[in-house]
Structure 1
Amino acid sequence: MTFLTGVFYGLLSPLNPEFRSFFLFKYGSLILISYIIVVFYLPFMLKKTNDLNKKVIIIVLFISIGITIPTVVFYLLNDKYDIGQFIRVILYIPIFVFVVWRKYDLSIYLIKFSFLFNFVGVYQYIMLGDSGRVESLFSHPNFYSIYLIVIIIFILEKLNFDKEYKRHKNFYYLYIFFMMAMILLGTGARTSFITLLIILVFNYFLRSRDKIRTVLRISIISFLLLIVFKVSESLLMTTRIFNMSYGNQYTDQINSFEWRILRWYDGLAAFNDFPGIYKIFGHGWQSSRIFSERFVGFSMHNEYIRMLVDFGVIGFIVYVSLIIFLVYISFKNFRIEGYYSLFLISVVVMIAGLTENIFVSSESFSILILSIANSLAILNIKKSKLLDTA
């Protein structure tokens, strides 16, 4: 069962469901794995549990109930709403709890299968040239870039804590550099590239002993990069990641950031039009595209506003509080394996959620959710070893 879950996590969950064959493989496996866990493993999960598992189960159940009630009510009142997308989200709950309970580091599957996804990415980059953005087997380049960041996070964690990976550190640092170049030149995802820089600086700062000297080095490197940018500005502005108006066809066409601001304004405007009770509880998962013409064919590109619109003030407060809680507890203990990746993944969710649709996409949703579960599983492993040696 661990192998099947690992294959789903590393290979099937990132696949673009817009392809029919991928859709069948992905969601067929999701249904099968969730069914097996609920029928055959749930009794053992409830019996053999520890404090961490109990806390995870309580939080997951609380969130599940909170998003289910308004969504089901909205479905009963609106025959145009497709409840199937919500059911596919709920099916991840048994897998999330199982991964934490099973106490096995599934990131090895994610890292190994990443070579396949990146091979496809390289092929696309060679074939596309300057005519498009690389998305590998994802539905959008931004989701591919989020996936690459998560891969880098787990590799960095293993380089910090796993002796086997340290023996091959040169290879993995080259692999990280390759994925960084793929984000920069292939996907052109600005938010992801900024997030990755923050993660790399954090990792460099973590590994250093002399913090003052490290800050000085980072400052010098930043200054040198600024000089390089000014010297190469004309060349860099021909790439999407540096040119905000890249790909615009008209002189008065707004850039991607200005377009996002309009989406955020529409989201807040729609929320302002809600009756009082819906401002408190919202309408449910992905309900905005049904009740408001503002979102027909468009996504909000801001998970904070999405939570406010879909789940009201209560949902927004819970979402923000959960992110702050994860960042806080993991940052306090980031020198411990498991907490390290949990902190960096929480940072990705916090930053990427400002400008991207990280939870609307089934690819980035599954990778982020299952990666958080995997970080908690690593913590479970550590706690079990401490109890065994006590």
Structure 2
Amino acid sequence: MKILFKLALLSILIYLTADIAIRNDEGGSRPIVQAIGGISLILVSWYNLRNLSIYSKLSSRLTFFKFWRLFIGLMIIYYCIGFNSIPSYHVTNSPRDLVIAIYIFAVALFFFYGTIRQHLSVGLLNTLIIVVLFNGLFEIFYAFITARNIDGVDVINTSAGYIFVMILPLLLFKFQKYNIWIFIIALILTMLTGKRGALVIFIFLFLYGLYNFRWIKKTFKLNWKILFFLVLIVFGYLFFIDSAFESLEYRLLTIQDEKRNMIASGRDVIWQTLLTKWLDSDFIGIIFGYGFFATISLGGNFAHNDFIEFLVDFGVIGLIVYSLVLIFYLRNIGWIKKMNRYLKVLLLFCFLIWLGRAIIAGTIRTDQIILSMSIGYLFGIAIKQKFLYE
């Protein structure tokens, strides 16, 4: 079982790295990366299936996994009936979107089981962190060397900001003695990426963390590790001021495009268009939606918002099931407060990141796998501590 876990983990890391490597590639390598993703999903699913006995015993504690699985099942049904243009001819049957949605769910279970079974060793966890952070740093490097000059400003904009914010809860638990410094470094790295949505999420994480500061370990004891973090922070901040501050300032000031009368890359127009389409549909359309990722046909793009996306695609039914996933996520972490308040804070961090991404960009994206790592790992730790607590 340990060998299977290691192989599956390796496949996940290879897939994430390969996906970033070809993100700006116009063709060529994408089929190879998709094949890697398919093999990885098979390995991850195989490991999960072999741990179903554990899942059944713990399902009463983590019911949000049940609703998450139900939502994935709903997506599969809509994908299948979409070949017959049901519930409408606007259906977009892209297998990639379905596979990514399944993969995101499977990875959360994979890390949950791996943590409980102690297959995710310290060495493997450190390797995971190094690879994920390297991928984020590589994206920043590539964004700098390919920056677009707009109005005399070299504009930097890369999704690596989401990588740092989604791995953050895992890092804050792994290095909890240095959580404040880890948070600041991750924030600086996100500022370098120029990703406005990730920065908005960071603001909410900061406010929530500040509110719970008395429950977060204070790390002001001076030692060589603290000095190392301080050097990284100072260097990172100076580099940001010198190389990326002007770009971030430009992106923040141009969040509203007055020439095209759009806000946040046209999200306001996209959302309004799709909601109008949904409201103008008949009773069946309102209840059952237009079909699998019909937003692409209706509005020319994804909704960049889970709630609007799933409302338009799967109707009221789909929105309710998806909302239940989030609602039961919150309910499932209620019992953790009595046992480990710090762990509950980090799981709420995961929730805020999930919710923020759902509102700002949508979560059916490859890099959402990284948040699944944090969620699965932290819930696994919570269950392990629950056994000891009882």
* TMscore range, shorter length: 0.7 to 0.9
* Contact 1:107–1:374 (8 Å) recurs in 2: no
Partner of 1:120: 138
Cα distance in 1, alignment partners of residues 375 and 12 from structure 2:
12
* Contact 1:330–1:340 (8 Å) recurs in 2: no
Is 1:150 aligned to residue 166 of structure 2?
A: yes
* Contact 1:9–1:370 (8 Å) recurs in 2: no
Cα distance in 1, alignment partners of residues 376 and 131 from structure 2:
18
Map Cα deviations across residues 172-203 of structure 1 (whole Å, 9 max, x no partner). Answer: 7555433312322x332223212112213333
Cα distance in 2, alignment partners of residues 37 and 182 from structure 1:
30
Amino acid at match of 2:353: V
* Aligned partner (choices 368, 372, 388) of residue 371 of structure 2: 368
Query: How do 1:174-189 and structure 2 match up within 5 A?
Result: 174=181, 176-184=183-191, 186-189=192-195
Structure 1 residue 206 displacement after superposition: 2.5
C-alpha change, 1:82 and 1:121, in structure 2 (3 Å) is same
SS in 2 for 1:7: helix
Cα distance in 2, alignment partners of residues 84 and 209 from structure 1:
44
* Contact 2:169–2:347 (8 Å) recurs in 1: no
4+ runs of 1 displaced by more than 6 Å? 235-238
Structure 1 residue 13 displacement after superposition: 3.0
Amino acid at match of 1:157: F
C-alpha change, 1:332 and 1:45, in structure 2 (3 Å) is closer
* Aligned partner (choices 73, 76, 88) of residue 65 of structure 1: 73
Structure 1 residue 69 displacement after superposition: 1.7
* Contact 2:336–2:382 (8 Å) recurs in 1: no
Query: How do 1:1-390 and structure 2 match up within 5 A?
Result: 1-10=4-13, 12-13=15-16, 15-16=19-20, 18=23, 19=25, 23-24=30-31, 26-38=33-45, 42=49, 44-53=50-59, 55=63, 58-77=66-85, 81-89=92-100, 91-92=102-103, 93-102=105-114, 103=116, 104=118, 108-124=126-142, 126-128=144-146, 130-135=153-158, 141=159, 144-160=160-176, 166=177, 169=178, 174=181, 176-184=183-191, 186-208=192-214, 239-245=249-255, 252-257=259-264, 259-290=266-297, 292=298, 295-296=299-300, 298-330=301-333, 333=336, 335-336=340-341, 338-359=343-364, 361-364=365-368, 366-386=369-389
Cα distance in 1, alignment partners of residues 276 and 113 from structure 2:
42
The answer to which of 303-312 and 340-349 deviates more is 340-349
Cα distance in 2, alignment partners of residues 115 and 368 from structure 1:
13
Cα distance in 1, alignment partners of residues 144 and 6 from structure 2:
33
Structure 1 residue 317 displacement after superposition: 1.7
C-alpha change, 1:180 and 1:94, in structure 2 (3 Å) is closer
- Quote the sequence identity (%): 15
Amino acid at match of 1:239: E
Map Cα deviations across residues 109-128 of structure 1 (whole Å, 9 max, x no partner). Answer: 44221331243244235535
Cα distance in 1, alignment partners of residues 321 and 376 from structure 2:
18
C-alpha change, 1:41 and 1:48, in structure 2 (3 Å) is same
* Contact 1:333–1:340 (8 Å) recurs in 2: no
* Contact 2:111–2:377 (8 Å) recurs in 1: yes
Q: Give the aligned length.
A: 336
Cα distance in 2, alignment partners of residues 27 and 384 from structure 1:
39
Cα distance in 2, alignment partners of residues 341 and 316 from structure 1:
26
Partner of 2:224: none
Map Cα deviations across residues 64-91 of structure 1 (whole Å, 9 max, x no partner). Answer: 2222222211223259843422441364
Please tell me the root mean square deviation across aligned C-alpha atoms, in Å: 3.5
* Contact 1:53–1:100 (8 Å) recurs in 2: no
SS in 2 for 1:301: coil
Length-normalised TM-score, structure 1: 0.72
Cα distance in 1, alignment partners of residues 172 and 304 from structure 2:
28
SS in 2 for 1:300: coil
Cα distance in 1, alignment partners of residues 112 and 327 from structure 2:
21
Amino acid at match of 1:350: L
C-alpha change, 1:128 and 1:177, in structure 2 (3 Å) is farther
C-alpha change, 1:175 and 1:209, in structure 2 (3 Å) is closer
Map Cα deviations across residues 132-166 of structure 1 (whole Å, 9 max, x no partner). Answer: 3242xxxxx3xx22211012222222333xxxxx2
Amino acid at match of 1:191: G
C-alpha change, 1:267 and 1:126, in structure 2 (3 Å) is closer
Gaps of 5+ in 1: 136-140, 161-165, 211-234
Map Cα deviations across residues 190-237 of structure 1 (whole Å, 9 max, x no partner). Answer: 232121122133334323269xxxxxxxxxxxxxxxxxxxxxxxx979
Cα distance in 2, alignment partners of residues 337 and 108 from structure 1:
21
SS in 1 for 2:51: helix
Structure 1 residue 267 displacement after superposition: 1.0
Cα distance in 1, alignment partners of residues 214 and 29 from structure 2:
43
SS in 1 for 2:73: helix
